[in-house]
């Protein structure tokens, strides 16, 4: 490539960039994915770094026909490209990472557990420069290994696990596959729920809106192997007139599982902007509930390396606690 001394027209990643694939990019071909996120990089250069093996997915070479899967880790090599409208590398602002230290629930050499606030995606993508994992890596540049163990929705708050050792990550994933991690959520729903305990099993199907946004629906099509069974045990905690406070124990962990199940049963989660009661949500915003009332508050498991019992708790965020107090008056 021709050298150019006009550095303002050079787009340069001095370090490799790592991107975790989310649902919005699932099944997309790797070349189209790179063309989307490297908008000012010539197509010829993108295919060059693909053919040369500089782009890696999960630390392996891929060709242009590879289709991305959720949680794939895409390594984008350092790039220097001429261009008048070249993008610039964006660094997180201090206020974006200031909350991390105060939200640590548990930490040792193998595992980090944080109380994720609502409004933070667990990883970047879909128009977001940074997710929680990118912010943690930025705040801890000397850490050799930091990987998400699981995901929770951007709008959901609560316990999020990050592995600090590959062995811990592998063991945690094995525990999740064999349902050896107990996860509990608290939520407030619209309607008067009366069952003290209710087990819900529903078959879920992933779809797309006309705008390309992913949605999950309940289906009865058992012949489609892509559809997944979901199972949750719900517990009645408090009746609050037109609303009900519930707890949920996840048996499976499907995308938007709690939100879709409850909406299908006629008890949408307050503040849910995808599956909820939109007119009610608008009214609740005026009363101070400006987010979804869904919080991952408890997790029980064995430590991934020591096998000692580990119980994690994340207190209800102040904004949800304040809204709950208003309803209990």
In a domain, 37, yes or no: yes
Burial class of residue 135 in the structure, from the number of CB atoms within 10 Å of its CB (0-12 exposed, 13-18 middle, 19+ buried) = buried
Domain assignment of residue 289, given as a range: 182-328
302 & 210 share domain: yes
Is residue 155 a part of any domain in this protein? yes
Q: What is the pLDDT of residue 78?
A: 81
Q: Which domain CATH number covers 297? A: 3.30.2350.10
Highest mean pLDDT among 6-15, 50-59, 92-101: 50-59
- Provide the 10 A C-beta neighbour count for residue 318: 8
Assess if residue 88 is contained within a domain. Answer: no
Same domain, 186 and 224: yes
Of 194, 151, 192, which is closest to residue 296 (Cα–Cα)?
Answer: 151
For residue 235, is pLDDT > 90?
A: yes
Question: Are residues 203 and 167 part of one domain?
Answer: no
Q: Would you mind telling me the total number of residues written for the chain in this entry? A: 329
Domain-ending residue, one of 18, 48, 82: 82
Average pLDDT of span 103-122: 94
Same domain as 147, residue 110: yes
Between 124-133, 172-181, 184-193, 253-262, the lowest mean confidence (pLDDT) is in: 124-133
In whole angstroms, what is the distance from residue 241 CA to residue 220 CA? Answer: 33
Q: Are residues 168 and 201 in the same domain?
A: no
Distance of CA 101 to the CA centre of its chain: 20
Residues 311, 282 within the same domain: yes
pLDDT score for 37: 74
Does the residue 63 lie in any domain? yes
Domain count, the chain: 3
127 is a domain residue: yes
Q: Residue written as tokens 């517990």?
A: 235
Do 99 and 200 share a domain, yes or no? no
Q: Which positions are catalytic?
A: 153
**Pair (108, 243) in one structural domain:** no
DSSP H or E segment with residue 168: helix 166-177
Residues 33/50, Cβ–Cβ less than 8 Å? no
Residues 133 and 213 grouped into a single domain: no
Asked whether 261 and 217 are in contact (CB, 8 A), the reply is no
Look at residues 56, 82, 108 and tell me which one is the last residue of a structural domain. Answer: 82
Please report which confidence band the pLDDT of residue 283 belongs to, taking 50, 70 and 90 as the band edges. very high
39 is a domain residue: yes
39 and 130 belong to one structural domain: no
> What is the tens place of the pLDDT at every residue in 147-177?
899 989 999 999 999 999 989 999 998 999 8
Look at 185 and 133; give whichever has higher pLDDT: 185
Residue 208 confidence (pLDDT): 77
Contact criterion met (CB below 8 Å) for 259 and 272:
yes
Q: Which of 177, 193, 223 is the last residue of a domain?
A: 177
In a domain, 68, yes or no: yes
* Long-range pairs, 215-223, Cβ under 8 A, ≥24: 215/274, 216/254, 216/255, 216/256, 216/257, 216/260, 217/260, 218/260, 218/261, 218/264
pLDDT tens string 42-94: 888 888 899 899 999 998 999 888 988 877 888 888 876 554 444 444 455 65
Under the banding of pLDDT at 50, 70 and 90, the label for residue 23 is low
User: Could you tell me if 324 and 290 lie in one domain?
Assistant: yes
- Kindly give, in sequence order, each residue whose CB lies less than 8 Å from that of residue 184, ignoring residues fewer than 6 positions away: 247, 248, 249, 250, 296, 297, 298, 299
- Phi/psi for 282 (5° steps) reads -65, -40
Q: Cα separation of 116 and 122, whole Å?
A: 9
Mean pLDDT over 26-33 rounds to 82
Contact predicate 118/155, CB 8 Å: yes
Phi-psi region of 223 (alpha: psi -120 to 50; beta: other; left: phi over 0): alpha
- Whether residue 315 sits in one domain with residue 262: yes
Q: Is the pLDDT of residue 107 over 90?
A: yes
Q: Establish if 315 belongs to a structural domain.
A: yes
The residue that leads in pLDDT, 90 or 211, is: 211
């Amino acid at each position: 490539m021709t050298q150019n001394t006009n550095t303002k027209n050079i787009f340069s990643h001095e370090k490799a960039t790592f991107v975790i694939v989310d649902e919005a990019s699932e099944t997309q071909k790797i070349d189209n994915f790179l063309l989307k996120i490297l908008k000012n990089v010539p197509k010829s250069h993108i295919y060059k770094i693909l053919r040369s093996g500089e782009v890696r997915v999960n630390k392996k070479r891929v060709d242009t026909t590879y289709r991305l899967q959720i949680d794939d880790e895409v390594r984008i090599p350092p790039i220097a490209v001429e261009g008048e409208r070249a993008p610039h590398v964006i660094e997180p602002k201090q206020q974006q990472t200031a909350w991390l230290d105060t939200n640590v629930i548990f930490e040792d050499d193998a595992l980090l557990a944080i109380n994720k606030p609502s409004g933070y995606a667990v990883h970047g993508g879909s128009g977001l420069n940074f997710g929680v994992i990118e912010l943690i890596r930025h705040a801890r540049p000397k850490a050799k290994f930091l990987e998400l163990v699981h995901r929770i929705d951007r709008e959901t708050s609560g316990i999020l696990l990050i592995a600090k050792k590959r062995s811990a990550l592998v063991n945690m994933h094995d525990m999740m596959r064999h349902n050896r991690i107990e996860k509990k959520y608290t939520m407030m729903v619209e309607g008067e729920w009366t069952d003290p305990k209710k087990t819900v099993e529903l078959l879920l199907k992933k779809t797309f809106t006309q705008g390309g946004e992913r949605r999950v629906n309940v289906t009865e099509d058992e012949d489609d192997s892509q559809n997944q069974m979901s199972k949750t045990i719900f517990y009645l905690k408090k009746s609050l007139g037109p609303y009900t406070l519930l707890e949920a124990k996840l048996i499976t962990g499907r995308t938007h599982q709690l939100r879709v199940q409850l909406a299908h049963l006629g008890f949408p989660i307050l503040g849910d902007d995808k599956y909820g009661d939109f007119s009610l949500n608008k009214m609740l915003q005026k009363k101070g509930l400006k987010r979804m009332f869904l919080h991952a508050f408890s997790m029980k498991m064995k430590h991934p390396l020591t096998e000692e019992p580990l119980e994690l708790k994340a207190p209800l965020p102040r904004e949800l606690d304040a809204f709950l107090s208003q309803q209990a008056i």
